[in-house]
Amino acid sequence: MSSSISQSPAAENDSAGETTAKPPGDARWHVAFGVILIGALAAFIPWTLGYVGDTSAVVLLILVVLLGVFMAFTIGGNDVANSFGTSVGAGTLSMKQALLVAAVFEVSGAIIAGGEVTDTVKSGIVELDTISHSPMDFVFIMMSALVGAAAWLLFATRMGWPVSTTHSIVGGIVGAALCIGFTTGSGGFDMVQWSEIWKIVISWVLSPLLGGIVAFILFGLIKRHILRYNEEADAAMRELKLKRIEHRRRERSAFERLSEIQQIAYTNAMARDSATVRTADYDRDELESTYYRDLHDIEKQAQDVESHRAIEVWVPLLAAFGSMIIGSMLLVKGLKNLELNVSPLVTALMLGMVGATVWMAVFIFAKSMKKYDLDRTTFLLFSWMQVFTASAFAFSHGSNDIANALGPFAAVLDVLRTGRVGEEAVIPTPVMITFGIGLIAGLWFIGRRVIATVGSGLTRMHPSSGFAAELAAAAVVMSASSLGLPVSSTHILIGAVLGVGLVNKAANWSLMRPIALAWVVTLPAAALIGAVAVWILRVVFG
């Protein structure tokens, strides 16, 4: 990709370095987040003991809290880092800025739209009715699921592999449930809903394929109609700039060869021309000096280039389209737990208003950027749009995927509090806040390697390509959720990043191979760890 489309090498090196290295100044941030996380745990554990009310299982309850927060920590380091990888890799956000955006939108999504209740059995993957008469076995299964998922996520994160947290928690539940089923004789492989497992297998291929196709088409259009046009227009404007320089040099040389009387006459003609060009709708024939006539021709050529046409025409339309896609994703996925019950007509009108508002705002902003060069204008506009999509993704993630940690934890709290296994469990606000803190701490402490993988490892990122990948992923997530297709948002975004890389002919397939293998291994690895964990828990606490 040419230099007019990509970042400067210095900027690229800076953004890449920030995702992998930890500057010395980060020590204060490490201490701050460590203190916040420890403080949150110190306040949350007594609250949990008071909420459950059963003081006979203090050790078990503290262990449950630690496992739940650890699960949120690893989700932050892998899933949230995956979501912000394109923004950090493109140089749109620094690591600290991504952290602040994630803190606001992830936690807000969990508290505002995370739902007050959660299903105690994850997605019906395993039939647990046969062991529901033993509440403690159910507790051990959920705890082991957290162990299996969190341990695998930690390993994958340290390797820089973005994997599905949903598949991890499902694997943990399957492994723990099968272990108890076989050891107690209460069930076997028939406990597993294998049709649901096949959906996960399908998602390994379907998710990245859909994300890659949509991103390939979207970024291909952006590159053809915006970036390439800007590149050609920028080259034309640079050529005209050289013409202006040459024009001034030539005129100065010609002026010096004139006699004194001719110089005075020519200077007076130029003064009159200077006043003429300030009037509206002047004609070239009104100009007396060759200096202003030739300059008029050059300026006419500059106007014919229409250097900012793509910025003023296509970018506002793209922003409006993107805002409607993001709005649809928020309504379908991000705010679904609020049960707004909005009619399709009202939804369409709301999205139309959002699109029109965004189009107008971006159009005005693009018009105001005419005095800047095209590279800077393009970078700034797509940076703003990428921050918007990343924020929406964070809100949607907080409202949905944090349930991977909340679900099993809330189920355990409910069983320890009531002594029975219920269909749903209440999620108190302190739980959401504490797990939100764990999520953000995980992003800061261990998320850099996944960010480096997504932001620069698979392909180099520019705000325009990052925006295309995020918007394509949002469109696929929204469409797949509406159609009920088995997809993973993590896999979709990775596919979208590769789709962008294919357009630029710069996809790193050697790095994708271990990531794809990790996707396949996720469920069985988490299942194996969950099985071992549940056996240990039953020996220690059973």
Domain edges within the chain: 29-226+373-541, 234-305
Rounded to two decimals, the pTM is 0.84
Tell me how far apart the alpha carbons of residues 159 and 519 are, in angstroms, rounded to a whole number. 13
Structure tokens at 472: 């394509």
pLDDT of residue 526: 96
pLDDT of residue 461: 92
The residues of the chain scoring below 50 in pLDDT are 1-21, 120-123
pLDDT digits (tens, 9 = 90+) for 301-320: 877 777 788 899 999 999 99
pLDDT of residue 524: 95
Average pLDDT, the chain: 85
pLDDT of residue 13: 37
pLDDT of residue 447: 93
Coil, strand, or helix at residue 318? Answer: helix
H or E segment and range at residue 99: helix 95-113
CB burial of residue 430 (10 Å; 0-12, 13-18, 19+): middle
pLDDT of residue 129: 67
pLDDT digits (tens, 9 = 90+) for 396-420: 777 766 666 778 888 888 888 888 8
Residue 400 falls in which region: left (phi positive, over 0), alpha (psi -120 to 50) or beta:
alpha
pLDDT of residue 517: 96
In angstroms, how far is CA 10 from the centroid of its own chain?
Answer: 24
Cβ distance 67 to 146 under 8 Å? yes
Percent composition of the chain: helix, strand, coil (DSSP 3-state, to 5): 80, 0, 15
Residue 185 falls in which region: left (phi positive, over 0), alpha (psi -120 to 50) or beta:
left
pLDDT of residue 520: 95
DSSP alpha helices (H): ranges in 278-428? 290-305, 309-329, 344-368, 374-400, 403-418
Cβ distance 236 to 307 under 8 Å? yes
DSSP of 137-169: HHHHHHHHHHHHHHHHHHHHHHHT----HHHHH
pLDDT of residue 2: 38
Query: At a CB cut-off of 8 Å and minimum separation 6, what does 311 contact?
Result: 226, 230, 366, 369, 374, 377, 378, 381
pLDDT of residue 24: 55
